[in-house]
Each structure stands twice: as structure tokens, then as C-alpha cells.
């Protein structure tokens, strides 16, 4: 076994778990999911069927990642954050054929107790603040907070708020990487 799992974790047959991944207490990994290399799956986490987690994904305690969710490499899912997969759930109405896809792009972070309503994309390196309720697409590098979540700025790949000059240029204070803001989109410049 190239991954490690606490004895209380339940790992169903038919899932794929990458090398170096750690699965902690009372977590359930369901059939058909794919978990990449060097992931950390916290305590009391559920990874549902057909979920894909890329490499180096960190899932903190008490998170359920439901069918329809894909997280690319280097995603951070904060404690007790919530995904949904049906837009209008009803206990008496089966809507398993109506699951909406949610994609969390490379390097994005979702804060503690945030809620991600299904059917949207979280852009690469976006930052979702603690307790935010995301009800629409989130652009790459965007910082969103509140309920409903509203954009308050832009963040570098290393997690620093970017300050753009009048030409639309910003520099990460840690890495010195340069970013360009044009037409309400941020890109990393070569």
C-alpha cells in the first residue's frame, strides 16, 4: 500500500488512491473516486463516488466532497466547508441524475465553513474566505467573501493580496512574480 490510512477509515473497493496520501480518523473513501498523490484527507471526511482530487490536495476535518466535484492539484478545502451537488434538493424527490458539476481549479483555497453551491467553477488560485457562500463563478486569483460571496480583490499564487498600479500591474511581495489585470481578469506574466 503506497498510501496510509488510520484503522478507523473506511476505504471501499474500486477507488484509486495515490502514493503518499494520508487518510485520517473516521473518513470514508467511496468507490469510483480518484485521489492523487500526497493528498491529506482529514478526520471525518467523505469522498463520494466519481469525485476526483488532484495531487497535493488538502481536505481538512469534517468535509464531504460529493459526486460531481473535481479538485485539481494543490487545492485546499478548509475545515467544515460544504459542497452541494443538487441545486434544489428534496427528500421525497430523487435527483441523482441532476448532479451539477463543480470544478475547483489548481491552487484554489476554500476557507472554513464556506459553502460552494453546485454548478460553478472556482478559478485557479482563487481564495474563498471563511463562511462565504459561493453562488456564481469565481475568477482565477479572485478573493471572495461574504454571503452571497462578493469579490473584494485579487491574490497571488502564494496567498498575498495584490495591489495593482494604474497600468494594471502588481508584484507578489514574497515571490516577486508579476501579475497583469486586464478586463477584470488576472494573469501571471512571464
All residues at 6 or more sequence positions from 16 whose CB lies less than 8 Å from its CB, including other chains: 33, 34, 35
pLDDT at residue 1 in the model: 63
As a whole number, the mean pLDDT across the chain is: 96
The range of the structural domain enclosing residue 66 comes to 4-162
Asked if residue 179 belongs to a domain, the reply is: no
State pLDDT tens for residues 156-171: 999 999 999 999 999 9
How many domains is the chain partitioned into structurally? Answer: 1
Q: Is residue 91 part of a domain?
A: yes
44-59 residue pLDDT tens? 999 999 999 999 999 9
Q: What is the pLDDT of residues 83-129, one digit of tens each?
A: 999 988 898 999 888 899 999 999 999 999 999 999 999 999 999 99
User: What CATH number is given to the structural domain containing 146?
Assistant: 2.160.10.10
Q: How many residues does the chain have?
A: 190
Q: How many C-beta atoms surround the C-beta of residue 27 within 10 A?
A: 22
Distance CA 163, CA 171 (A): 8
Amino acid at each position: 500500500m503506497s498510501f496510509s490510512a488510520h484503522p478507523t477509515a473506511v476505504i471501499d473497493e474500486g477507488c484509486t488512491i495515490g502514493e503518499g496520501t494520508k487518510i485520517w480518523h473516521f473518513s470514508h473513501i467511496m468507490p469510483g473516486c480518484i485521489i492523487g498523490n500526497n493528498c491529506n484527507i482529514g478526520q471525518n471526511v467523505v469522498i463520494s463516488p466519481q469525485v476526483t482530487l488532484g495531487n497535493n490536495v488538502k481536505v481538512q476535518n469534517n468535509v464531504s466532497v460529493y459526486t460531481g466535484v473535481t479538485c485539481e492539484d494543490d487545492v485546499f478545502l478548509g475545515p467544515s466547508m460544504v459542497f452541494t451537488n443538487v441545486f434544489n434538493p428534496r427528500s421525497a424527490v430523487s435527483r441523482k441524475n441532476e448532479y451539477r458539476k463543480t470544478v475547483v481549479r489548481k491552487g484554489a483555497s476554500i476557507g472554513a465553513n464556506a459553502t460552494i453551491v453546485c454548478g460553478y467553477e472556482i478559478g485557479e488560485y482563487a481564495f474563498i474566505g471563511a463562511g462565504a457562500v459561493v453562488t456564481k463563478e469565481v475568477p482565477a486569483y479572485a478573493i471572495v467573501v461574504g454571503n452571497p460571496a462578493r469579490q473584494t480583490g485579487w491574490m497571488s499564487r502564494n496567498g498575498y493580496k495584490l495591489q495593482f498600479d494604474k497600468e494594471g500591474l502588481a508584484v507578489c511581495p514574497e515571490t516577486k512574480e508579476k501579475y497583469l489585470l486586464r478586463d477584470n481578469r488576472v494573469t501571471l506574466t512571464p
